[in-house]
Structure 1
């Protein structure tokens, strides 16, 4: 049975003790709930993959209590240092070359010579990392490929009995995962849009590397698989009409005729929509499934600010591999 811990000093201390003992503990960040394990313990990291049913070629993000702690495991470029000063703690992950002296288990980076690192902004996450006093590997706390969790109840709905504990601190304020930047090339490359918008990053980055990645290349960070964040019901994007046997993920005034509606933001606010995205997908998937609905239709969201991250998650949630 999974232990549900309060987000107080005693709960954080208990969670840190379980992490140090090699167990898996879900905890809140400003983005989504992460499933944490001691990143220096290969056996503990392997338990993350087992609990999630996650492919082992898909690397994880290592979380730290400070930029100094993160840069002890990776080679910080001048750009990385500027970005860390501006956006850490916060929803930004940097992919950098691993140091030869890194204490992080190879399984965290799936055997790559790079490592994805970040310092989360959530006070409970920072307190847990400080109490653990070591890097914590943490993908989203859900079954692999499914909708990410933004509450402890979401975590328990999928991982009850499969993980040691979850620290319950209510809803995550940002609601979509961190932005991931690869800084190992001549130019920075956006690997995943997320909680820090490109508009906010633009003054630091200059020209991005826009060359397409080789489709056979191993993922460099989490969130790069074509099918990800997926509900059980089929998801249709850019809906301008909705059938009576479909649920609607609305953004602004809802389309008429849907059997079920979840409103991301009545005022078309991308920040509000991002915070509600995964809860909306989960709610429509669960209730739509109970009612036997045919699928979920999602209204269009502008490709600016956090809308870019929302659209990325929706596109991956809607992807269906049609190959044999």
Structure 2
């Protein structure tokens, strides 16, 4: 049976984080709060656990799972290169609601789906998520819902959809934003917006003026 913790209690929160971290290291799934919506997470380097995550959501490998990290510096160990524009976006919006699609380092032995050499990375602005990520390292995290259903705004909503497919649920009240992250592809010569969410296009353009807007043709 899945374990359910209320992280608003400081004493419970310590035990909750430790239990969730142990479950992740054991190849199990956890639901965690983030600054956008609740996430369904697994060890990013455990291919079986990531496959279980996709299965629990009813989602195919054609939609690779994003990765959450607990610090700015983690991106340097996950990608082949971090150019100046990517660094500016990280410094401006991490932790926060910006996901960056980057080319991951060829040395990494993970399987997040049919990613074709790229990975979507984000650092969430939520203390429970950060505390968990500090213990687990990078986690593969997708929205905590069945594919085609609305993203969960609480762990209780996630449990109603995912049930015992998840080992540990971390509840910390309604998601602050309730809006999915903005996604920017930084694998090309100019960053390109793939989805507008928690971070607006105007905010992005203030940091990287040559960013390509949503729906605009990509530069060659």
TM-score (norm 2): 0.91
- Indicate the structure (1 or 2) with the bigger Cα radius of gyration: 1
Aligned to 1:115: 119
Instruction: Quote the Cα distance in structure 2 between the aligned partners of 1:78 and 1:185.
Output: 13
Q: How many residues align?
A: 210
Aligned residues: CA RMSD: 1.5
Aligned to 2:94: 88
Instruction: Quote the Cα distance in structure 2 between the aligned partners of 1:18 and 1:140.
Output: 18
Determine if contact 1:70/1:118 at 8 Å carries over to the other structure: no
| Structure 1 residue 17 corresponds to structure 2 residue 22 | yes
RCO comparison, higher one (Cα < 8 Å, 6+)? 2
| Structure 1 residue 27 corresponds to structure 2 residue 41 | no
Aligned to 1:300: none
Alignment of 1:1-324 (within 5 A): 1-7=1-7, 8-74=13-79, 75-103=81-109, 105-106=110-111, 108-132=112-136, 134-209=137-212, 210-211=216-217
Determine if contact 1:56/1:110 at 8 Å carries over to the other structure: yes
Task: Report the Cα offset of residue 165 of structure 1.
Answer: 1.4
TM-score (norm 1): 0.63
Aligned to 2:10: none
Determine if contact 2:92/2:207 at 8 Å carries over to the other structure: no
Determine if contact 1:109/1:116 at 8 Å carries over to the other structure: no
Instruction: Quote the Cα distance in structure 2 between the aligned partners of 1:161 and 1:139.
Output: 17
Unpaired segments of 5 or more residues in structure 2?
8-12
Unpaired segments of 5 or more residues in structure 1?
213-324
Instruction: Quote the Cα distance in structure 1 between the aligned partners of 2:6 and 2:22.
Output: 14
